[in-house]
């Protein structure tokens, strides 16, 4: 049975709980243990699928088709363990399950209450797959004391109580604010946060203290004393230049040792940190820089394209260069010529997106890249834009567009080279979608296989002709236009195994122009950069050498 580490946060939000959890996962792996990371979110949305990227950052999609919290992306990038639907749950999902059972009569007429019915549902979630790995790390979203989070805290308390002694530990993240006026780090908020935890029956075994200043030994001792944790289990967490420093940085300050000590695992297996040392070496000794223009919609919010940002960094690691990605609002190109904006970049990426706003600008960016021979990487909506651009400007279909935009306006304005698919094959069965399906449940989601054309650019990049990538979209390029577009030089180099759904397009004779219907960024890792991102950055490096 797995050992459990429950990770909670206090004092303020955004302390980097997800990163600390992911780094701990990586360190336990480095010591030879198998791990799985989980996220429990207190919000009432059933899943983040319908939340705006402005609200919640990126939606991370798993192989098995769940739309989850972006922290699962961190977990996957740090551990290489593919996240599953059962690795993320929200209060909304828990309540919805409980209410469904109530309607079915599963509770045999009992009065349904938070304790035990909601907490039992949470505990059932925690127990999923507990025989599969050595450690399950479960992060509770939000901060201790939040009203919505209480059932989760109660559930982890009960869970630990019901398991054998020593099978579960609690790790709590807090902040030590620094008062410049008195030159002091303050421990009181941490003390209060731990007090709050203890009031609901949870005593932390490990305290991770975020601080902008070095934490003096004296303060560490004080925290240990007042919070009732061992001094060597008070772990300082300082700001890092790159998130990928986290595993080595946390190792240096003894996080993994403190966790193993709390489980009384002795002697602790020696860690092999070579994977992270190599990543650090590539980060620190990068030579040169490439500038990438990311032309999209949610440009103000760092987290909206989290995985793309990270995958670009990984592409840089693969080529030992720094990647400077700059986010450009595509709407600008609807008013102005993209040339002067885009000329100074070594490559252009158009990421996924929803809705019509800004799409004409993305089409113009794709046209600019195609005509000027600048590397272009179109992801999901970015591929659809590239296809529409080719249809309009190469195949003479001036009114080519996507049904998505017509749906928004409720009238037919375009010839739909990208259309709303209602039925498709997944593995061995057929998926059907009705127009009245609830929002969030109507997309082609999760891993799908694709067949790649021999001799194509993508076949060379992947080094194989059979791939599997993750999807999240409602619309598809219409295969009936394939021949027409291929004649103009837009090659359909990747298709679904049944040949009905275009998965990859590339422009023949262009140094690097690729559109993919899926999201390769979701599978990239710092120690295993996705081949498309690695090669896209390689192509950008080539351009940078020419100018
Ligand atoms: N809006 C497009 C669709 O639903 C693209 C989605 C995306 O880029 N993830 O097909």
> Looking at the structure, do residues 249 and 393 belong to the same domain, yes or no?
no
> Looking at the structure, do residues 92 and 73 belong to the same domain, yes or no?
yes
- For residue 14 the two structure tokens come to 């955004």
Residue nearest atom 8 in ligand 1 by C-alpha distance: 352
pLDDT digits (tens, 9 = 90+) for 485-538: 999 999 999 999 999 999 999 999 999 999 999 999 999 999 999 999 999 999
> Looking at the structure, do residues 8 and 84 belong to the same domain, yes or no?
yes
Q: What integer pLDDT is reported at residue 442 of this predicted model?
A: 72
Tell me which of 226, 249, 279 is where a domain ends. 279
Q: With a cut of 60, say whether residue 236 has pLDDT above it.
A: yes
CA pair distance 483, 75, nearest whole angstrom: 42
Q: Which of 160-164, 323-327, 351-355 has the lowest mean pLDDT?
A: 351-355
CA pair distance 193, 189, nearest whole angstrom: 6
Question: Is 163 a pocket residue for ligand 1 (Cβ < 6 Å)?
Answer: no
State the total domains in the chain.
2
Q: What integer pLDDT is reported at residue 435 of this predicted model?
A: 57
> Looking at the structure, do residues 237 and 307 belong to the same domain, yes or no?
no
CA pair distance 266, 55, nearest whole angstrom: 44
Tell me which of 225, 254, 279 is where a domain ends. 279
Consecutive H or E run containing 154: helix 150-162
CA pair distance 360, 46, nearest whole angstrom: 33
- For residue 505 the two structure tokens come to 């397009």
At 410, is the pLDDT very low, low, confident or very high (cuts 50, 70, 90)? confident
Backbone phi, psi, residue 545, to 5°: -75, -25
From the list 431, 428, 508, the residue with the least C-alpha distance to 476 is 431
Question: What does the pLDDT average to over 400-413?
Answer: 82
> Looking at the structure, do residues 14 and 99 belong to the same domain, yes or no?
yes
Instruction: Output the domain CATH number for residue 93.
Output: 3.40.50.300
> Looking at the structure, do residues 427 and 541 belong to the same domain, yes or no?
yes
Question: Is 304 a pocket residue for ligand 1 (Cβ < 6 Å)?
Answer: no
From the list 416, 390, 394, 373, the residue with the least C-alpha distance to 539 is 373
206-210 vs 234-237, strand pairing mode: parallel
CA pair distance 423, 454, nearest whole angstrom: 28
Q: What integer pLDDT is reported at residue 431 of this predicted model?
A: 75
Between 407 and 22, the more confident residue is: 22
pLDDT digits (tens, 9 = 90+) for 34-66: 999 999 999 888 877 777 766 777 889 999 998
Tell me which of 245, 279, 313 is where a domain ends. 279
Q: Which of 101-105, 180-184, 426-430 has the lowest mean pLDDT?
A: 426-430
60-61 vs 168-175, strand pairing mode: unpaired
* Beta-carbon contacts of residue 491 (< 8 Å; ≥ 6 apart): 453, 456, 505, 506, 507, 508
> Looking at the structure, do residues 381 and 353 belong to the same domain, yes or no?
yes
pLDDT digits (tens, 9 = 90+) for 436-485: 555 545 788 999 999 999 999 999 999 999 999 999 999 999 999 999 99
> Looking at the structure, do residues 236 and 319 belong to the same domain, yes or no?
no
Between 519 and 15, the more confident residue is: 519
HSE, CB side, 13 Å, CA atoms: give it for residue 220: 18
Contact 49, 212 (CB under 8 A): no
CA pair distance 514, 386, nearest whole angstrom: 9
Per DSSP, the three-state class of 63 is coil
Question: What does the pLDDT average to over 216-229?
Answer: 93
Full domain range(s) for residue 371: 287-546
> Looking at the structure, do residues 473 and 430 belong to the same domain, yes or no?
yes
Average pLDDT value for the chain: 92
Question: Is 407 a pocket residue for ligand 1 (Cβ < 6 Å)?
Answer: no
Q: With a cut of 80, say whether residue 5 has pLDDT above it.
A: yes
Question: Is 404 a pocket residue for ligand 1 (Cβ < 6 Å)?
Answer: yes
CA pair distance 71, 88, nearest whole angstrom: 9
Q: Which atom of ligand 1 is nearest to the CA of 355?
A: 1
Q: Which atom of ligand 1 is nearest to the CA of 379?
A: 8
CA pair distance 103, 291, nearest whole angstrom: 56
Q: Which atom of ligand 1 is nearest to the CA of 472?
A: 9
289-296 vs 322-329, strand pairing mode: parallel
Question: Is 475 a pocket residue for ligand 1 (Cβ < 6 Å)?
Answer: yes
CA pair distance 167, 290, nearest whole angstrom: 48
pLDDT digits (tens, 9 = 90+) for 358-396: 999 999 999 999 999 999 999 999 999 999 999 999 999
172 catalytic? Reply is no
Annotated catalytic residue: which of 380, 389, 404, 476? 380
Residue nearest atom 9 in ligand 1 by C-alpha distance: 352
> Looking at the structure, do residues 317 and 271 belong to the same domain, yes or no?
no
pLDDT digits (tens, 9 = 90+) for 258-303: 999 999 999 999 999 999 999 999 999 999 999 999 998 866 666 7
521 catalytic? Reply is yes
Instruction: Output the domain CATH number for residue 500.
Output: 3.40.50.880
Q: What integer pLDDT is reported at residue 438 of this predicted model?
A: 53
> Looking at the structure, do residues 257 and 305 belong to the same domain, yes or no?
no
> Looking at the structure, do residues 24 and 129 belong to the same domain, yes or no?
yes
Q: What integer pLDDT is reported at residue 421 of this predicted model?
A: 81
């Amino acid at each position: 049975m797995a050992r459990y580490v429950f990770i909670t946060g206090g004092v303020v939000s955004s302390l980097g709980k997800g990163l600390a959890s992911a780094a701990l996962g990586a360190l336990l792996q480095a010591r030879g243990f198998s791990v799985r990371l989980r996220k429990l979110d207190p919000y009432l949305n059933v899943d983040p699928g319908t939340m705006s990227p402005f609200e919640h950052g990126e939606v991370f999609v798993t192989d098995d088709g769940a739309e989850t919290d972006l922290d699962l992306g961190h977990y996957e990038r740090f551990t290489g363990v593919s996240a599953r639907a059962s690795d993320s749950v929200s209060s909304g999902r828990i309540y919805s399950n409980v209410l469904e059972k109530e309607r079915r009569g599963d509770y045999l007429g009992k009065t349904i209450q938070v304790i035990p019915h909601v907490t039992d549902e949470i505990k059932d979630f925690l127990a999923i797959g507990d025989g599969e790995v050595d450690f399950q790390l479960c992060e509770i979203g939000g901060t201790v004391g939040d009203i919505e989070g209480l059932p989760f805290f109660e559930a982890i308390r009960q869970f630990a109580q019901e398991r054998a002694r020593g099978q579960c530990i609690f790790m709590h993240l807090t902040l030590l604010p620094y008062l410049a006026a008195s030159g002091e780090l303050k421990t009181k908020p941490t003390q209060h946060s731990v007090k709050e935890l203890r009031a609901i029956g949870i005593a932390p075994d490990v305290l991770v203290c975020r601080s902008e200043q070095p934490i003096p030994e004296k303060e560490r001792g004080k925290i240990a004393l007042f919070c009732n944790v061992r001094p060597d289990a008070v772990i300082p967490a300082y700001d890092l230049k790159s998130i990928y420093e986290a595993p080595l940085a946390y190792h240096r300050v003894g996080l993994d040792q403190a966790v193993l000590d709390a489980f009384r695992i002795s002697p602790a297996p020696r860690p092999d940190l070579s994977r992270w040392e190599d990543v650090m070496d590539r980060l620190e000794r990068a030579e040169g820089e490439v500038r990438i223009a990311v032309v999209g919609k949610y440009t103000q919010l760092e987290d909206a394209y989290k995985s793309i940002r990270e995958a670009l960094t990984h592409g840089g690691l693969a080529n030992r260069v720094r990647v400077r990605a700059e986010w450009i609002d595509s709407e600008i190109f609807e008013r102005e010529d993209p040339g002067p904006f885009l000329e100074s970049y070594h490559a252009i990426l158009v990421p996924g997106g929803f809705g019509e706003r800004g799409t004409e600008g993305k089409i113009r960016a794709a046209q600019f890249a195609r005509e000027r021979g600048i590397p272009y990487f179109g992801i999901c909506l970015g591929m659809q834009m590239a296809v529409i651009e080719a249809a309009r400007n190469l195949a003479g279909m001036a009114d080519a567009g996507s049904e998505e935009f017509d749906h928004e306006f409720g009238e037919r304005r375009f010839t739909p080279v990208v259309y709303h698919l209602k039925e498709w094959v997944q593995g061995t069965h057929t998926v059907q979608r009705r127009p009245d399906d609830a929002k969030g449940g109507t997309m082609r989601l999760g891993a799908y296989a694709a067949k790649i054309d021999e001799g194509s650019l993508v076949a060379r990049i992947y080094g194989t002709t059979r791939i599997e990538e993750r999807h999240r979209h409602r619309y598809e390029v219409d295969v009936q236009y394939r021949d027409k577009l291929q004649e103009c030089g837009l090659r359909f180099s990747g298709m679904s195994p049944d040949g009905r759904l275009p998965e990859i397009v590339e422009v023949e004779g262009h140094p690097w122009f690729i559109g993919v219907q899926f999201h390769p960024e979701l599978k990239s890792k710092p120690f295993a950069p996705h081949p498309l991102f690695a090669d896209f950055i390689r192509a950008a490096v080539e351009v940078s050498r020419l100018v």
